[in-house]
Structure 1
Amino acid sequence: MKPIREIEGRAYPLGLKNVDTDVIIPAPYLKTITRKGLGKGAFESIRAQPGNVFDDPEYAGANIVIAGDNFGCGSSREHAAWALADMGVEAVIAPSFSDIFSGNAFKNGILTVVLPQEAVDRLLEVAKTHPIAIDLDQQSVTTPFQDRFTFEIDPFRKYCLLNGLDEVGMTMARDVAISGYEQKMAAERPWL
């Protein structure tokens, strides 16, 4: 997983409430076990609508999604986080998230930022014409217009995202201790 410190760029001003995981990545795309290529199916039902933000050249390459309340509700499919990551999304800002989606996003290196509705409304407006910036270390979202919104994040999640550690990375960081334990057990209990 790549470390996250600052995320800056254009944002998709989605703003929709209750975007469930079936909207993020429809069921027909769940037949794969690879993370690659899912971005093309992301938000398929929204992309079917003329003038949608995901196909608007103004937002090409956007790495942030600004959404409405309860983003990621529905099923527990991890493919939703995979699809966002495959699209190049590094962060989602919303007033609230489904707990399961938030956990899946975190485990896949996507920052979920919870802000009050008023802050989200302001960011939706700014995102139509200007980039926004997220500073994970300072736990803030800023705009070119001097807006500054702070957010809370679980300290463990913050540590992992800042250091690019997923579950495998955390285990590998303990390689010396694990190897030492295995050697000790092999000496003490050779029958194992």
Structure 2
Amino acid sequence: MQPFVELTAPACPLPLSNVDTDQLIPARFMSRPRAEGYGDFLLHDLRREAGGALDPDFPLNAHPGAKILVARRNFGCGSSREAAVYALADFGFACVIAPSFGDIFASNAVNNGVLPATVEEAEAETLLAAVGAGAELTVDLAAQEIRGAGPALRFTVDPVWRTKLLNGWDDVDLTLSHAEAIAAFATADAAARPWAQLRAERGGGSA
């Protein structure tokens, strides 16, 4: 993944609460190979009118090119489908700002390089109003600040997730960053508990 340090980009307001993963990507589209892209299916049914045409007044359609999404509480609730994050990332979003997130959704977002930035509800309303009026936002992960809508706003993110995003790491990379400590523990443990170590396999055929 690419490191996420600071992003200055157009933002899109989505003044909805409890946007669930089935709304983010309806299940009927999830058989498509990821290589073909999931962006066209993001919020598919909400973005379209009854006849299937895009609704020009829906926020995602009215703010093309946005890379930051601002929503209300409990964003990404519902099932654990990682495809919901694929749809966001493939559409072009690198950050979602909301007062709260579904836990599994937020973890999936980080593993795909998308920052789930948590703000207070009043701050979310301030941001929704600002980006609705066309404001561009700067999301600074190093400082944990959002700028562009008046005074800088602080956001929170799990410290481990912050480390992963700043470095562009997945879970394997995070584990490897502790390789020296893991090796030192293994050496000390082998000396302290030799009886607990796996024996080396012996060759030599049958007895």
Per-residue deviation, residues 133-178 of structure 1 (Å, max 9, x unmatched): 11000001111x5321112222211111000001243356578999
Which structure has greater helix proportion?
Answer: 1
CA shift in 2, pair 1:77/1:151, >3 Å: same
Q: In 1, distance between residues paired with 2:35 and 2:79?
A: 18
Deviation by residue 1:7-66 (Cα, 9 ceiling, x = unmatched) = 11111100200100011001111113525410101111121143111112xx21100110
- Partner residue, 1:14: 14
Letter in 2 for 1:18: N
| Equivalent in 54, 61, 64 of residue 60 of structure 2 | 54
Unaligned runs of at least 5 residues, structure 1 = 182-187
Letter of the 1:2 partner, please give it.
Q
C-alpha distance in 2 between matches for 1:74 and 1:43: 14
| Residues 35 and 83 in structure 1, CA contact (< 8 A), matched pair in contact too | no
Equivalent residues, number: 184
Q: Matches of residues 43-192 of structure 1 in structure 2 within 5 Å?
A: 43-49=43-49, 50=55, 51-56=57-62, 59-128=63-132, 129-143=134-148, 145-170=149-174, 189=200, 191=202
Check conservation: 1:35, 1:79, Cα contact below 8 A.
no
Give the RMSD, CA atoms, in angstroms. 2.5
| Post-superposition CA distance 1:102-135 (Å, at most 9, x none) | 1111111110011111111111111121101110
Superposed, 1:14-53 pairs within 5 Å as 14-34=14-34, 36-49=36-49, 50=55, 51-53=57-59
Q: Distance in 1 between matches of 2:175 and 2:119?
A: 32
The structure-2 alpha-carbon separation of the partners of 1:170 and 1:153, relative to structure 1 and needing over 3 Å to count, comes to same
User: How has the CA–CA distance of structure 1 residues 147 and 191 changed in structure 2, closer, same or farther, with 3 Å as cutoff?
Assistant: farther
> Which SS does the other structure have where 1:89 is aligned?
coil
Higher deviation after alignment, 32-41 or 81-90: 32-41
In 2, Cα distance between the equivalents of 1:71 and 1:29?
Answer: 20
Identity %: 37
